[in-house]
Amino acid sequence: MSNPTARPKQRRGLLIGVAVVLFLVTGAVMLWFFARTLGWHTTAISAGFAALPLFVVLPMFLWLDRLEAEPVRYLAFAFLWGAVCATLGALILNTSFEAVLIALRVADSDMYSAVVGAPIVEETLKGAAILIILFVRRREFDGVIDGVVYAGMVGSGFAFVENILYLGSSIQSGEDGRFAFVFVVRCLMGPFAHPLFTAATGIGLGLAVASARTMGGRWAYAVCGWVVAVCLHAIWNLSATIGMFESTYALFQVPLFIGFLALFYVLRRRENRMVGTYLSQYADAGWLTHPEVHMLASLANRRSARKWAVSQGGKSARSAMVAFQDTASALALLRSRMVAGAAGAAAQAHEYELLTHLTTQRAAFIGR
């Protein structure tokens, strides 16, 4: 008898294999580049300092993702794409673009490369990771928060490796205080720069998924998000090129960061309300109880429910409760896209599949 799940498993295995080979090859090339240009010792020191901002940046984006957590493998894919694929592509394309400008004898080729070439190249390469994840997880990519979270991962990976290069170059320069200056500017003052630029692309793709009803609308959201990302990146690079970094940082980067923080807070609050609103419809239809909806609409109540599940059935019951909560979040977000007319033709079948999973998961943590 044929196995109806064989083809999806083969496809998943193929995609994983391609991703592993891609990361191994690009990672090896980047290691060779750093060993050749900086040396192992300088690379190791620079990597240690470049990793420090990640302890602040990554938790912020993971905090945003708590209600409907994205799979670790896809978060890792986004980070690694930014760290090795996007950086290697940017290294090649940015260098080539500047070489063309020099060959054409364009005045101020450095500035054009930094302000025009680099933002277009880098935001396109980083945005490609979000687009790949969207196509691979098209049923589970729910909207703006997913786009922002993946943007944060890919931007963090890119910034980490780029900072290794800049910090290492500052060590090799031998200038007194140069390393400290670069560390302060890039790792302390601007750790969120790349993630926030790419977040604009993530927002555009998220709106394309959650709000657009037509293909033209999806393209419009996606392109607008990318254009905003490129413009933000260009302004940042221009400020450093023309010697106005301090004023631009105070008047542009700080307000931008505060604005994004406010947006993230609003997005998470909105998602909480959305879960309560749309799951109530399933409670009215008998698929859930209203106390379950009350629990699912609050992170604090979800934590309490997981503790209760452990007391009832140990780790297996807790795992079932976590799965129940994640499935319920996915169901609510799917319902919101269905109401907006942006869910696609297979939405009803996916909705029924999620409802069936909810019933099975509930039985697992209740114990019957």
Q: Is residue 264 included in any domain, yes or no? A: no
Counting residues of the chain whose pLDDT is more than 90, the rounded percentage is: 67
Q: How far is Cα 305 from Cα 326, in angstroms, rounded to an integer?
A: 13
Domain boundary among 243, 261, 286: 243
pLDDT band at 3 (very low <50, low <70, confident <90, very high): very low
- Whether residues 343 and 285 fall in one domain: yes
pLDDT band at 147 (very low <50, low <70, confident <90, very high): very high
- Whether residues 217 and 355 fall in one domain: no
Plot region of 298 (φ>0 → left; ψ -120 to 50 → alpha; else → beta): beta
- Whether residues 210 and 65 fall in one domain: yes
- Condensed to tens digits (0 to 9), the pLDDT of residues 232-287 reads 999 999 988 887 888 888 888 899 899 999 999 998 888 888 889 999 999 999 99
Which residue has better confidence, 367 or 149?
149
Given a cut of 50, is residue 1 above it in pLDDT? no
Given a cut of 70, is residue 6 above it in pLDDT? no
The gap from C-alpha 27 to its chain's centroid, in whole angstroms, comes to 20
Q: How far is Cα 76 from Cα 83, in angstroms, rounded to an integer?
A: 10
- What's the whole-number mean pLDDT along residues 172-191? 92
Given a cut of 90, is residue 11 above it in pLDDT? no
- Whether residues 185 and 124 fall in one domain: yes
- Condensed to tens digits (0 to 9), the pLDDT of residues 197-219 reads 999 999 999 999 888 778 898 99
Q: Is residue 141 included in any domain, yes or no? A: yes
- Whether residues 213 and 103 fall in one domain: yes
Q: Is residue 1 included in any domain, yes or no? A: no
- Whether residues 137 and 284 fall in one domain: no
| Residue span of the structural domain in which 362 resides | 273-366
Domain boundary among 192, 224, 243: 243
Given a cut of 80, is residue 9 above it in pLDDT? no
How high does pLDDT run on average in the chain?
91
pLDDT at residue number 5: 42
Which residue has better confidence, 241 or 302?
302
Tell me if the pTM is above 0.85: yes
Domain boundary among 224, 243, 262: 243
Q: How far is Cα 34 from Cα 283, in angstroms, rounded to an integer?
A: 57
Given a cut of 80, is residue 56 above it in pLDDT? yes
- DSSP 8-state assignment for residue 243: T
- Whether residues 147 and 217 fall in one domain: yes
Q: Is residue 255 included in any domain, yes or no? A: no
Classify residue 315 as exposed, middle or buried by CB count within 10 Å of its CB (0-12, 13-18, 19+): exposed
pLDDT band at 368 (very low <50, low <70, confident <90, very high): low
Q: Is residue 215 included in any domain, yes or no? A: yes
- Name the token pair of 1: 């008898």
The amino acid sitting at 361 is Q
Cα 146–Cα 323–Cα 9 angle in degrees, nearest 5: 75
- Whether residues 231 and 279 fall in one domain: no
- Whether residues 193 and 331 fall in one domain: no
Given a cut of 90, is residue 347 above it in pLDDT? no
The set of residues, in sequence order, having a beta carbon less than 8 Å from that of 221 and lying 6+ positions away, is 204, 205, 207, 208, 211, 212
Count of the separate structural domains present in the chain: 2
- Whether residues 76 and 198 fall in one domain: yes
How far CA 353 is from CA of 33, 283, 330, in Å, comes to 48, 17, 11
Q: Is residue 259 included in any domain, yes or no? A: no
- Whether residues 236 and 105 fall in one domain: yes
pLDDT at residue number 312: 84
- Whether residues 226 and 310 fall in one domain: no
Counting residues of the chain whose pLDDT is more than 70, the rounded percentage is: 97
DSSP state letters, 169-216: HHHHH--TTHHHHHIIIIIIISTTHHHHHHHHHHHHHHHHHHT--SHH
DSSP state letters, 51-115: HTTHHHHHHHHHHHTSTTPPPHHHHHHHHHIIIIIIHHHHHHHHHHHHHHHHHTT-TTHHHHIII
Q: Is residue 147 included in any domain, yes or no? A: yes
Q: Is residue 144 included in any domain, yes or no? A: yes
Which residue has better confidence, 319 or 12?
319
